[in-house]
Amino acid sequence: MLRRTIAAFAGTLVVVGLIAGAGAATVAAGSPPGALSIVSASLTQDGQQLVWNVLTADPFTPSSLAAAGQSLCLVIAQVKPVVPEGVLCVGHRGTRSHPMLYYRQIAAAGVVGRAHRIAATVTRRNDDELTASFLPASIGAAYRSLRWEVLSTAPAADCRAGAGCSYEMPGRPALARLHTPTLVGCVASGPSLVHGGSPKVHDIALTFDDGPWGDPPTMDFIRLLAREHVPASFFEIGDQISQYDPTGSVERAMLANGDMIGDHTWTHPDMAALPPAKQRSELELTVDAIRHATGFTPCLWRPPYGDISPELISLARSLGLLTIMWDIDPRDWSLPGVKEIIDNVTTNAQDGGIVEEHFGGGPRYETLDALPTEIAHLSARGYKFVTVAQMLGLRMIYR
């Protein structure tokens, strides 16, 4: 059913040549006619990502596919009835030969939409293999089961000559059982002490200390950031979790919105002045409280008052925690006024910057009120908002 339906649109699936602008390209001498043979293929879920892997009988590049008028595509279909929903094809743009992925939606009436490039990580260990990772949302899919098949097609002229028009793998559409991923941890890597991200990347991280809190409620921060589609990092005081988020619903909302949670100690002491046993207890009690509330084990911590020592940094790292400082400080804890907070953040913003603000420890209405304007100004300047974990490229653990 899937194969027959797709075959009806074979002409529209050869998107590689159209995308690459390769209309004038010719097939290299000795190139075999027909579709590219597929040895093996798979579609699996790895955390939030879908991972497409394909191995072919012969080497290929996006430009060689375009020159031969061939296509290499992943067809996505409903489970029942098995009706195609879209086609994801290997392509490239202009003279660039690195593989990119382009998606075309197939409407219920069989109308194939325009191809658009999706965000994907494409790697190749060999010239006959390709692995691509992408979010289901990038192809308009949710975390639900789907059917898939890899399809390789040949130009119509080759079909008329008796060569293979298409090659499918597997022989029948396979089932991929997807589930909504749950974030359960992150892996500390890189330097143990961090003051900021790369000065070569135009991103910025908003971070908030001293919560959860009730003045204003922490959910006010979470909802505002969600409306603005801005992720943030929240560093929490463990002893306050049972009071201000006894069911863990607030912190789970953070994670569901793409925010990150970090350890800000159990009681907010000057950690550098404590003996090692007490330092360890402050960190471990908070990790346990966050894990109990959310199922998530943090890999980031922030020292109260910014007080650190080499020994403290090493202790935290032994517990799987990176020490996260900051390089943009609007001193919002002193209640300087909304305008002063905005001006400080926007004036001192820089590539790879980490902004330190507060969502607890006092009335934080000024910080909350400043956020929309901060976000608008930084967005207008082209900054990408990321969590600290994203800024550092840390690996997330899902189940």
pLDDT band for 34, please (50, 70, 90 cuts). confident
Domain termination residue (choose one: 147, 176, 205): 176
Shortest CA distance to 78 belongs to which of 88, 90, 86, 70? 86
Q: Which residue has the tokens 């404590």?
A: 274
Q: Is 209 a catalytic residue?
A: yes
* Segment holding 204, helix H or strand E: strand 203-211
Q: Which structural domain, as residue segments, surrounds residue 101?
A: 2-176
Give yes or no for a contact between 86 and 104, defined as CB atoms under 8 angstroms apart.
Answer: yes
> Do both 247 and 381 map to the same domain?
yes
Domain shared by 378 and 251, yes or no? yes
| pLDDT band of 69, cuts 50, 70, 90 | confident
Assess whether 307 and 232 both reside in one domain. yes
Claim to verify: residue 40 and residue 156 sit in the same structural domain = yes
Give pLDDT, residue 109.
Answer: 61
Q: Where are the alpha helices (DSSP H) in 178-256?
A: 218-228, 238-244, 249-256
**What torsion do the CA atoms of 8, 172, 174, 108 make, to the nearest 10 degrees?**
30
What 3-state DSSP class applies to 301? Answer: strand
Verify that 138 and 209 share a domain, yes or no: no
C-beta neighbour count of 48 within 10 angstroms: 17
Evaluate whether 139 touches 76 at the Cβ level (below 8 Å): yes
Q: Based on the fold, state whether residues 113 and 187 are members of the same structural domain.
A: no
Catalytic-role residue among 92, 264, 268, 358: 358
Neighbours of 368 (CB within 10 A): 19
For residue 360, give the CATH number of its domain: 3.20.20.370
**Is the domain of 135 the same as that of 279?**
no
CA atoms of 359 and 172, how far apart (whole Å):
53
Residue found under tokens 């382009």: 102
Confidence check: pLDDT of 16 > 90: no
- pLDDT over 70 for what percent of the chain? 87
**CA separation for the pair 278, 282 (Å, rounded):** 6
Q: Is 210 part of the annotated catalytic residue set?
A: no
Last residue of a domain, one of 125, 149, 176: 176
What type of residue sits at position 176? A
Q: 176, 205, 229: which is the final residue of a domain?
A: 176
Q: What are phi and psi of 129, to 5 degrees?
A: -140, 150
Catalytic-labelled residue, pool 158, 209, 245, 263? 209
> Are residues 6 and 128 both part of a single domain?
yes
What confidence score (pLDDT) does residue 25 get? 27
Taking the C-alpha atoms of residue 335 and residue 342, their distance in angstroms, rounded to an integer, is: 12
C-alpha 370/C-alpha 313 separation (Å) is: 32
- Among 345, 382, 380, which Cα is nearest to 206's? 345
Query: pLDDT, tens digit, for every residue of 93-118?
Result: 766 678 999 999 998 666 678 899 99
Q: What is the pLDDT of residue 26?
A: 29
- Report the C-alpha gap between 320 and 189 in whole angstroms: 9
Reported pTM: 0.81
User: Are both 156 and 272 inside the same structural domain?
Assistant: no
Residue 23 has pLDDT above 70, yes or no: no
Query: Any idea how long the chain is?
Result: 399
Q: What are the pLDDT digits (tens) for 114-173?
A: 899 999 999 999 999 999 999 999 999 999 999 999 999 988 666 655 556 888 999 899
pLDDT tens per residue across span 364-385: 999 999 999 999 999 999 999 9
Do 44 and 83 belong to one domain? yes
Residue 233: both structure tokens together: 């990092």
Total number of domains in the chain: 2
Domain shared by 163 and 191, yes or no: no
Which H or E run contains 15?
Answer: helix 15-20
Q: Same structural domain for residues 110 and 247? A: no
**Count of C-beta atoms within a 10 Å radius of residue 145:** 12
Check whether 35 has a pLDDT greater than 50. yes
- Please tell me the distance from the alpha carbon of residue 190 to that of residue 207, in angstroms, as a whole number: 20
The CA angle 206-208-209, to the nearest 5 degrees, is 150
Q: How far apart are CA 238 and CA 220, in angstroms?
A: 20
